[in-house]
Structure 1
Amino acid sequence: MDDRAPGRRRLVLLTAGLCVGLVAWNNVVVPSLPGRPASAVTANAAATALLLATARWVGLSWDELGLGRRRLPAGARWGGVCAALVLTAYAVALGTPVLRPLLADARVEDLSGAQVAVRALVRVPLGTVVWEEVAFRGVLLAAACRVLPLPAATALSCAVFGLWHVRPALSGLAANGVASGLPGTGTAVLLTCLWTAAAGLLFTWLRLRSGSLLAPALLHLATNSLGVLAAAAASRAG
């Protein structure tokens, strides 16, 4: 009997379980939690720790997960450059009246300064970025790469990342009144999922190119947290 068979079975089960579990987590479980959004941050942080422990138990190394210390400098360089580009893009949009409406988000218009800060500095980093990067570009990608060729593993991770955003897309559409009716809403959700899958491909490329999860995490953090701050600034600028 091949001694590697039990380990491979665990990796296959982990990969398959993550594909189903992650989609259900963000589209069914988290939206049903009482006490959201605070409870969602706590749940996601706990899920991050549990997922990392599971990854180590099935034999994935820190380097495979993108968390090896020796690749942190490369991750910081790649992620820092990308974050700077995002900051520049938001600054240009805020400073250009014709572009400023593109930053609008009804979900932050009525938030106080303190609420905006909590969302940008706590909810996004801990409840979104760390959890999503560990789950998708960390554990799922690493496990899938053990049982699939790299292109297939990458495609799988990006596809699940796109489906992860179905419920958030519906919430965003409802808050901003972007689409109405089944055809319009369905098209908007599909485009959102395709867009986030494409973003997942960029995040994955950064993870693989730098060898560190820090690179996509910094880009993800800059995009989401600075996006919240930019949307709040745009709404106050009028």
Structure 2
Amino acid sequence: MTRVAFATAVAASAAALTWNNIVVPRQQWGWRTRTITHAGVGIGAVLCARAAGVTSRELHVDTAMKLRPRYQVAAGIAASGLAAAAVVSTGIASRSGDRGTTPQPEPERPLAEWVLFHIPLGTVVAEELLFRATINALWWRALPDPWSRTVGAAVFGLWHIAPAGGWGAGGSRVVATVGATALAGVGFTALTKRYDSVLAAALVHYVVNAGGAVIAHVSSLES
């Protein structure tokens, strides 16, 4: 570990948390603007890291560009099956009265737009490029495993404080959201490392969020 690498990882993590938990909530952006902006942040983070000398292999985007279709697709499908099972379980629990933090489309946003535009771009592209690619790469440079994975997952969890409603929404809800998303970050990172690409994690991430949105939407219609 070098001081420069550690300081860089801390600065990038702090900037990400400040952006999502302080800057974005204060803006009066519509959902489409927010989605495009978030996607731009993820892409911009990778470009900045590359300009700073982080290799595409460290960012796990080189094989994403070249592709190894059989392995990537097989991994993604297998992991997505597990994710789908988790989503179904969450949906069953939500019907008992507690919807938790399952993402729900706003009433004026069509479900198709949410699932085909907001989630893939504003959530999956943004977060996988920002966290599994950029921030994780910086922490891997700064700390040895398992500390690098642990810190990266913790930052990913803390990224969700404002989306959970902020501390004003109730400490237990925020703590549960941060804990759950940090745990998801551990899984996404494991997939990224195992298959040397952000693609498998991105596919699972999409299935979890889109499946959760669909289940929440169906539950709201039945209630």
Per-residue deviation, 1:58: 1.6
Structural mapping, 1:94-105, within 5 Å: 100-101=95-96, 104=99
Which one-letter code corresponds to 1:134 in the other structure?
Answer: L
- Structure 2 counterpart of 1:79: 76
Per-residue deviation, 1:122: 0.7
1:151 and 2:136 equivalent?
A: no
Q: In structure 2, what is the Cα distance between the partners aligned to 1:153 and 1:19?
A: 12
- Indicate the SS of the match to 2:164: helix
Gaps of 5+ in 1: 175-184
Contact 2:192 2:198 in 1 (8 A): yes
- Over the matched positions of the two proteins, sequence identity in percent amounts to 30
Q: Name the structure with the higher helix share.
A: 1
Contact 1:103 1:234 in 2 (8 A): no
Q: In structure 1, what is the Cα distance between the partners aligned to 2:139 and 2:112?
A: 36
Matched residues, number: 218
- Indicate the SS of the match to 2:42: helix
Deviation readout 1:84-140 (Å, 9 max, x if unpaired): 23334545776x7x873468479747726x611111111111001111111111111
Contact 1:158 1:198 in 2 (8 A): yes
Q: 1:149 to 1:102 in 2, by over 3 A?
A: farther
Alignment RMSD, CA only?
2.8
Gaps of 5+ in 2: none
Larger Rg: 1
- Structure 1 counterpart of 2:117: 122
Per-residue deviation, 1:77: 2.1
Q: Taking structure 2 as the reference length, what is the TM-score of the superposition?
A: 0.84
- Structure 1 counterpart of 2:107: 111
- Structure 1 counterpart of 2:196: 211
Q: 1:171 to 1:233 in 2, by over 3 A?
A: farther
Q: Taking structure 1 as the reference length, what is the TM-score of the superposition?
A: 0.80
